[in-house]
């Protein structure tokens, strides 16, 4: 799209006409040189043919018009493009152990499917922030590094599968991996800008690092941890069989959040999980703002070059006459 940066320069367009009306005509000054053959040269037919003041005036008008066009700074504006911003750094650690396949959430979906739907919306709402994704079970894996590309982080979450990282649950190792990644990429805005949201449905039964020790290291590193326990409430079923999530270690999750300055939440269904992420949004609002820019290409050089080219024949015409 063509854009004029200084359109008010168009007001200069009638300036030559105004000067010709307001200023008196110039008069020759000083002694004149007498040439006895000047009358004969002036009467030559070849020179008279070249003497066309209207054509020269047209050239001068085009020169001035080109100069005014260049002064208005014509520009070509490209398509709007986003500018990466650095807001809060937020890591999501999602449990993909075998127990996440339990279908005790509303709607007949398993726990991981509900987490993918709700957490995906949470990621997409973190405009301006950097979001990373850790998937953990027997071992933790960094599925998506910290990035401002929220669509990519959300897509990696949707591609997560149960059992891809093992069958057990290593909560402490997941926190340890988050600490390592954050140390490898130190924050520029301060320690309070780093948050880990850890979601699990079980207790720590794998890994080399105990969860509470990992929580202390996280607190020393300035990493605030919010923990979420998912799964239906445990209770008695038919024939005395237990139903719901009886493996969840809520006490450990509460201590992790307390040590690091975060909070613990319980999500028994999709609506409760949405409320949890909404609450985290309130506690840790997105600090970044969407910024956009349009690449600009300056075009003033073209009318300026045209004015230079037209001024040459105008000057040569004057000297030839």
Does the pTM exceed 0.75?
no
Residue with tokens 């004057």: 318
How does strand 224-230 pair with strand 130-136? Answer: unpaired
Report the first-to-last Cα separation within the chain, whole angstroms.
Answer: 44
For residue 232, what is the DSSP state?
Answer: P
Specify whether the CB–CB gap between 206 and 138 falls below 8 A: yes
Nearest residue to 256 via CA among 176, 313, 190: 176
The structural domains of the chain, ordered by start, are 2-13+40-79+294-320 (no CATH), 84-291 (3.40.50.410)
Nearest residue to 269 via CA among 105, 117, 116: 105
Nearest residue to 198 via CA among 105, 145, 276: 276
Which stretch of DSSP H or E encloses residue 197?
strand 194-200
Write the DSSP assignment of 92-134 as a string of letters: EEEE-SGGGG---SGGG--HHHHHHHHHHHHHHT-TTSEEEEE
Nearest residue to 223 via CA among 254, 183, 252, 274: 183
Encode the chain (321 residues) as per-residue pLDDT tens digits.
788 888 888 888 888 888 878 877 666 565 555 555 555 545 544 444 455 677 778 888 888 899 999 999 888 887 776 655 556 788 999 999 988 888 877 667 788 888 888 888 888 888 778 889 999 999 999 999 988 888 899 999 999 998 888 889 999 999 999 999 888 776 554 444 689 999 998 889 888 899 999 999 999 988 999 999 988 776 544 434 445 556 788 999 999 999 999 999 998 888 888 888 888 888 887 655 556 667 788 888 998 899 888 888 877 765 555
């Amino acid at each position: 799209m063509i854009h004029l940066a200084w359109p008010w320069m168009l007001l200069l367009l009638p300036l030559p006409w105004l000067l010709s009306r307001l200023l008196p005509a110039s008069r020759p000054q000083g002694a004149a040189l007498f040439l006895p053959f000047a009358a004969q040269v002036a009467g030559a037919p070849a020179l008279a043919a070249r003497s066309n003041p209207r054509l020269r005036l047209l050239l001068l008008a085009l020169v001035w018009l080109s100069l005014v066009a260049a002064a208005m700074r014509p520009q070509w504006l490209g398509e709007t493009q986003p500018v990466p911003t650095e807001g809060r750094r937020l890591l999501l650690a999602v449990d993909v152990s075998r127990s996440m396949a339990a279908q005790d959430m509303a709607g007949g979906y398993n726990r991981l499917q509900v987490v993918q739907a709700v957490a995906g919306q949470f990621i997409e709402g973190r405009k301006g922030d950097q979001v990373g994704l850790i998937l953990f079970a027997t071992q933790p894996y960094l599925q998506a590094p910290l990035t401002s590309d929220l669509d990519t982080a959300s897509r990696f979450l949707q591609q997560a599968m149960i059992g891809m990282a093992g069958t057990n649950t290593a909560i402490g190792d997941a926190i340890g991996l988050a600490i390592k990644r954050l140390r490898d990429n130190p924050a520029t805005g301060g320690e309070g800008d780093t948050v880990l949201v850890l979601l699990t449905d079980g207790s720590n039964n794998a890994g080399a690092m105990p969860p509470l020790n990992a929580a202390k290291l996280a607190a020393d590193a300035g990493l605030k941890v919010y923990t979420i326990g998912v799964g239906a409430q445990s209770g008695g079923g038919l024939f005395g069989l237990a139903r719901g999530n009886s493996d969840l270690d809520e006490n450990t999750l509460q201590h992790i959040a307390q040590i690091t300055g975060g909070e613990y939440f319980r999500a028994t269904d999709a609506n409760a999980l949405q409320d949890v992420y909404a609450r985290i949004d309130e506690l840790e609002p997105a600090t970044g703002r969407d910024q956009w820019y349009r690449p600009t290409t300056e075009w003033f050089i073209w009318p300026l070059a045209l004015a230079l080219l037209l001024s040459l024949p105008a000057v040569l015409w004057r000297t030839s006459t």
